[in-house]
Structure 1
Amino acid sequence: MSQQVLELGRRTEELQQVIKVQLPNLQDAAKDMKKFEIELRALQVALEQAQATLTSPELGHLSLKEQLSHRQHLLSEMESLKPKVHAVQVCQSALRIPEEVVTGLPICHSALRLQEEASRLQHTAIQQCNIMQEAVVQYEQYEQEMKHLQQMIESAHHEIQDKPIATGSIQELQVQISRHEELAQKIKGYQEQIASLNSKCKMLTMKAKHATMLLTVTEVEGLSEGMEELDSDLLPAHPAHPSVVMMQIQCLFYSCQHVRANTEKVLNCRNEIKSD
């Protein structure tokens, strides 16, 4: 009995030493995890803002040029995602937790998913800019053609209005009337071409907007689902919901209390043995 008590006392002291060494490490790990959570949340917020901009219905009311400018501006702003992604990677690498534990944490899976979504979202923005760029180039060509046709119409109008009515002879008057009729037909043809180009511009605008919207829905649809999963995976910052590491610290604290209780029992047993 005495030997068992001594062995129990020795193991209790060893466990106390292990806990004494591990507790500061777990506290440091908890700080690392907290910083990791903050950086991950910042990346999530930035992605949500970018997604909201890409899918904003207000974009549909803008002209092609305005949409292109808006998306180019967004693309330049999305460069700020790279430092956030890097910060998440640095924090994850700095976690003072065993590798086998890190790879199994849901928050690390969420970090990887967010990094993939950041890359995918930027790719979507680039594709949208390319679509809009092509549409704007074509639209400007149509505008140039309409501008040229409008100049032709104005030139024909000037010729009709500025040239005085021929009064020299009936033949001259007939020639002038014939010329005016010819110009009137040309003006009508120019107007029809302008109307056709206007229709092409409207169709081009609709197709470009539809293509970018389809691209947005296809590429970004998974992001909303990923965000919902991330909200459940991310460790809440509220004190009432401690993180995994903090839970480990609490468990370790309770283990310390349990060890102390066992130690007291051992000491009591020793005292009883000595008294016997």
Structure 2
Amino acid sequence: MKARFGVKRKAALGITALVAIAASAAPVSATTVTHTDTDTDTKWGRSDHWGVITRNTIGSPVAALRNGPFGSFGVTGPSARPPFGRGSLGIEVADHSTSLTPPSEAADFGNEVDFFGAPVLGLRQVGFHVFQTGENVSYGGAANLPNIRFEINPNLTATPSTYSSMVWNPPALPTTDLNRWSPYLDATTTGTWFLTGAAGTATNCSLSHQCTFQDLLTALNDGGTQPVIYSAAVSKGRDYMWIGAVDGLRINSLVYDFEPTMVRVRRAT
């Protein structure tokens, strides 16, 4: 199935997904998860729930499963190919292409089904690999990178709000990791997190005052009803132009391997 935005640009919907709500070790390698697995992680999985989240997509960005990228030219070794398989999630967003304020685009590629109702406080491992270019740095600085975003119900006693986006901003990559695939970026130990809306103000983990992963979970654990997840996604925007790719999205014990025709699920080992 394909979803088209605009006339010539398109974003292909991914298929095959499994949810992971159990802690595990760092992703040194991964093995493919089969449908015969019966543990909590894989029982939540479905095969057709990854794709462009239309509610959160603005303009005509690209969020498409693709082959590669391989390279850039002159780059050899493991960093010259996607970390898993042959494909990745290609993302392209523009910064001045809409009539809205701000005029930039936003892309959201994720899963609105399999993570629904999962406990936010059950998140233990989160992260991905990214293909970053020098051009992207020139567009928006060294921290111009995609995000990981969980839509959640924060369930905070300090505010009646039942919706917030829980967003990870990755750290700036060193120049040695440009124009090639990055190492695994661990969202639980690097970068910063924030909550949108009233939840950000109530927890003091907002866009203007970002937090560590552990500080954010501590702020959400206020003794009342536990916060729950609505959806999980890789996102970009609305800010700077960015053209690149993401692979190996990890959520707890599972790694989501973005391939040209599917989202293959692997168990982190």
Q: Which has the higher helix share?
A: 1
TM-score (norm 2): 0.21
Which one has a bigger Cα radius of gyration? 1
> How does the TM-score come out when normalised to structure 1?
0.21
Where is the strand percentage greater, Structure 1 or Structure 2? Answer: 2
RCO higher in 1 or 2 (8 Å CA, sep ≥ 6)?
1
